[in-house]
Structure 1
Amino acid sequence: MKVTVLGAGVTGITSAWFLRQAGHEVTVIDRQPGAGLETSFANGGQISVSHAEPWANPGAPLKVLKWLMREDAPLLFRLRPDLNQWLWGLDFLRQCTPGRTRHNIKQMVNLGLYSRATLQKLRADTGMDYQQKTEGILHFYTSEKEFADAQGPAAVMREYGCELEMKTPDECVAIEPALAASRSKIVGGSMTPSDESGDAHAFTRQLAALCAAQGVEFLYNTRIVGARKEGDQLRSIQIASTEGVVSDISADAYVMCLGSYSPQWARLLGQSLRIYPAKGYSVTLPVTNEAASYSVSLTDDEYKLVFSRLGNRLRIAGTAELDGYNTDLNLVRCEAIVRRVRELFPDMSDGRNARYWTGLRPATPSNVPYIGRSKTSNLFLNTGHGTLGWTHSCGSGAAIADIVSGLTPQVDFAFTGLSGRHKPISLGKPATFQA
């Protein structure tokens, strides 16, 4: 089949790779001049199965109220006269029950385990090097309450197969000696030895190059401006180049990997996706004091920050700001990250030469992404991964390739639009490209 992938972020590129491996003719469309230049560009870098507790959990509503007026809050709802934001927020509250939280943790762990294993096989098969580190991820806690609250979700994660070991403060420092400067603040931690980290942007660019070598066609600097639907099938999409040339492109199947912009495009087809942009921030610092710099990937659970070592760079990322499609860089939130870094690692960096970045992460209220068939029979979804797009990219890419091919994915997950045995799409007339 001819398959068009909409979006060249990390999930779009992994989708393209696995679709091509399945024998399909693949075209990728993106408005940027290259792969991985938006949400995948400077994220936290973690392949974190252990990051499976959703934002929507029983303790979240009180935290959100407490953080509502704090400009540097880890999760900030910047209330707007935006119906989509309010509907998203109501659904978020509905997901905060113990039963739904447990269900969502199961989905995240299952997909995360499958995705991590798929990434490891892909890396072994291709020899890719994206400054990956495989020493695991250490979650540390500086609040007794946060550490106590983490025990329940950790037990659920272990029940579903996530290897997660609770650690004492001294054990945390033994795993990452750079935490010695903060030993008095740490009350405990957890270690997931099989988790990883790496440069998501480097991975995406390399995999895109491998896709091109396998015959995948890339249409960069290309915007999607319209669509033509007949019955329950998408027949063609209208695209425009940066020079303003408009043309139609047709395919047998389409895979939507448009991140935070997926709802806007789906709305053109009369469909609703409960995805809202959660603006995240990252700070990248050069390694200036090797002895005081961390090497193991870390998660500061109280402040919702992740730390990754990318060669001679230190990447710290986190926080979520629900403020529509505003992509302005908020220096207050960036400086709050640097302040926390200096508090934890006082001798690691003075904050000079910091590179700030912000990007929109496509968040669902449950944190569970849309992977599967849409209401339009030949349009498939691989979007809504929130903060875990890098973690789940290989697994969701492999799964969507199976679904498009009419196969059953190898992972137990609540796929969108699938009930019972999956059937292949029915093909109409051969796909054509109009210049």
Structure 2
Amino acid sequence: MSHVAVIGAGITGITSAYILNSLGYQVTVLDQHLYAAMETSYANGGQLSACNAEVWNTQATVKKGLKWMSKKDAPLLLNPSFSLQKYSWLFEFLRHIPAYETNTVETVRLALLAREKMFEIAETEGFEFDLVKKGILHIFHNETDFHHAHLVNQLLNRAQLERYAVTPEEMRQIEPALTGTYAGGFYTPGDATGDIHKFCRGLSQVCAQKGVKFLYGVEVVDFVHPQQGIELIYQASAENMHAEPQDRVHLQTDAIVVCGGVSSYAISRMLGDHIQVYPVKGYSITVQLNDTESQQQAPWVSLLDESAKIVSSRLGLMRLRVAGTAEFNGYNRDIRADRIQPLINWVNQNFQLSTAQVVPWAGLRPMMPNMMPVVSRGKRRGVYYHTGHGHLGWTLSAATAVMLGALIEQDLPV
């Protein structure tokens, strides 16, 4: 039986392990943290959102980004300090503006495939992750944004996404908890939400029961390519307090899959490749719905606010997840109060519920300059990449994991 090592236990790594195991491969998953899904897959917006598959490569995004540079609470924030990785990424981002329509249509296609696969996994494996199938409502506060949204919607419909315009009255019928003033909205009934962290933990347990081996608290430090297979070298990570960091372990594999999120950039360089992932920080709050009134007033239908660039997802009776913003500031993981406050303000503006208790979080989205996920072979034999999903890792991973499995099957017999 061929042995595949998967580097990373976030959403892309866990779905990769699940698919590869189902194909008959022996799978080992390695992660620097002590548990699955402790970085970007920990507390994202929760949306399985084909409706949010529009790529960002537009002139309008660039103009807004430049306008917002002086506003600390802007939806998109760019630290102008020089970084070769950052500015080369931005140059490539601009270069992919002509591919906006093609890449958006392809992302929608992947999202629809992933949605079907995700529902299949949920039904087959039966673990709980607060899955809510009530669709996603895209809300607009002004006529200008709503008019532009009709043009975007034509593109999404062309990609076979069921998404249609709704009036403010229809919006409140779909989600009675809304209390703001709106120009209109778009509703995608087939989209859903769920807790990505609970999903990854649940699916990792399923994988372990099926024979997948998990090595937590380890850091990959080197690779050796003998005549057959790949030798992966790892040691205890800084989080692993029960092991000696200097002790290096050699793991013989037939192939490796890099699912390292924002670490994929550095790992790819170790392997002689250049995967141009850049960390784009996003923030979220988890509102604790501790009183009956807040539980009744919090929305169950997932929302996407165009002007604020904020999304919300109901995670069971007791939690409302609210997420947004994009910050180009390197590998900085600091949780800034001036970036969290707009999320709290948004809740207070749109709903009648208590924000007395919120849990803030920040994570680094692994984004490629063309906003497309990477499912590819490396230069060296037996090296594969499944990374770079950006803000759509939860939305796309189930489909791209299947693509990865098909790619490895072409090269490596089980």
d(CA) in 1 for partners of 2:303, 2:350: 12
Deviation at 1:186, TM superposition (A): 0.6
1:143-185 Cα shifts (integer Å, max 9, x gaps): 2222122222211111111111111111111100111x21xx2
Q: Which residue in the other structure is 2:326 paired with? A: 320
- Paired letter, 2:348: R
CA RMSD of aligned residues (A): 1.5
Q: Secondary structure, in 3 states, of the residue corresponding to 1:59?
A: helix
Q: Which residue in the other structure is 1:415 paired with? A: none
Q: Which residue in the other structure is 1:330 paired with? A: 336
| Correspondence 1:348-363 to 2 at 5 A | 348-349=353-354, 351-363=355-367
d(CA) in 2 for partners of 1:137, 1:353: 25
Deviation at 1:123, TM superposition (A): 1.2
d(CA) in 2 for partners of 1:142, 1:317: 18
| TM-score normalised by the chain length of structure 1 | 0.90
Contact kept in structure 1, 2:196 and 2:394, CA below 8 Å = yes
- Paired letter, 1:257: C
Contact kept in structure 1, 2:285 and 2:343, CA below 8 Å = yes
- Paired letter, 1:75: L
Residue 304 in structure 1 maps to residue 309 in structure 2:
yes
User: Which residue, out of 373, 377, 380, partners 2:377?
Assistant: 373
Q: Which residue in the other structure is 2:298 paired with? A: 293
d(CA) in 2 for partners of 1:270, 1:375: 7
| Correspondence 1:253-272 to 2 at 5 A | 253-272=255-274
d(CA) in 2 for partners of 1:234, 1:86: 36
User: Which residue, out of 382, 386, 389, partners 2:386?
Assistant: 382
Larger deviation: 162-171 or 21-30? 162-171
d(CA) in 2 for partners of 1:375, 1:49: 32
d(CA) in 1 for partners of 2:3, 2:28: 8
Q: Secondary structure, in 3 states, of the residue corresponding to 1:170?
A: helix
Contact kept in structure 2, 1:262 and 1:273, CA below 8 Å = yes
- Paired letter, 1:127: G
Deviation at 1:234, TM superposition (A): 6.6
Deviation at 1:426, TM superposition (A): 8.4
Contact kept in structure 2, 1:16 and 1:26, CA below 8 Å = yes
User: Which residue, out of 231, 234, 243, partners 1:236?
Assistant: 231
Q: Secondary structure, in 3 states, of the residue corresponding to 1:227?
A: strand
User: Which residue, out of 230, 234, 246, partners 2:248?
Assistant: 246
Q: Which residue in the other structure is 1:274 paired with? A: 276
d(CA) in 2 for partners of 1:234, 1:94: 37
- Paired letter, 2:339: R
Contact kept in structure 1, 2:272 and 2:379, CA below 8 Å = no
Q: Which residue in the other structure is 1:432 paired with? A: none
d(CA) in 2 for partners of 1:89, 1:230: 37
- Paired letter, 1:392: L
Contact kept in structure 1, 2:14 and 2:204, CA below 8 Å = yes
d(CA) in 2 for partners of 1:237, 1:85: 29
Give the direction of change, closer, same or farther, for the CA distance of 1:405–1:79 in structure 2 (3 Å limit). same
Deviation at 1:194, TM superposition (A): 0.5
d(CA) in 2 for partners of 1:251, 1:109: 34
Deviation at 1:274, TM superposition (A): 1.5
d(CA) in 2 for partners of 1:37, 1:279: 15
Larger deviation: 86-95 or 202-211? 86-95
Deviation at 1:425, TM superposition (A): 4.3
User: Which residue, out of 333, 342, 350, partners 2:348?
Assistant: 342
Give the direction of change, closer, same or farther, for the CA distance of 1:360–1:170 in structure 2 (3 Å limit). same
Q: Which residue in the other structure is 2:202 paired with? A: 206
Deviation at 1:377, TM superposition (A): 2.7
Q: Which residue in the other structure is 1:397 paired with? A: 401
Deviation at 1:344, TM superposition (A): 1.5
Deviation at 1:229, TM superposition (A): 3.4
Q: Which residue in the other structure is 2:189 paired with? A: 193
1:172-219 Cα shifts (integer Å, max 9, x gaps): 11100111x21xx21111111000001100000000000000000000
Contact kept in structure 1, 2:53 and 2:392, CA below 8 Å = no
Gaps (5+ residues) in structure 1? Answer: 407-423, 428-435
Q: Secondary structure, in 3 states, of the residue corresponding to 1:177?
A: coil
d(CA) in 1 for partners of 2:366, 2:326: 11
| Correspondence 1:154-165 to 2 at 5 A | 154-165=153-164
d(CA) in 2 for partners of 1:363, 1:195: 22
d(CA) in 2 for partners of 1:426, 1:291: 54
Deviation at 1:92, TM superposition (A): 1.3
Residue 33 in structure 1 maps to residue 41 in structure 2:
no
Deviation at 1:230, TM superposition (A): 5.5
- Paired letter, 1:300: D
Give the direction of change, closer, same or farther, for the CA distance of 1:425–1:20 in structure 2 (3 Å limit). closer
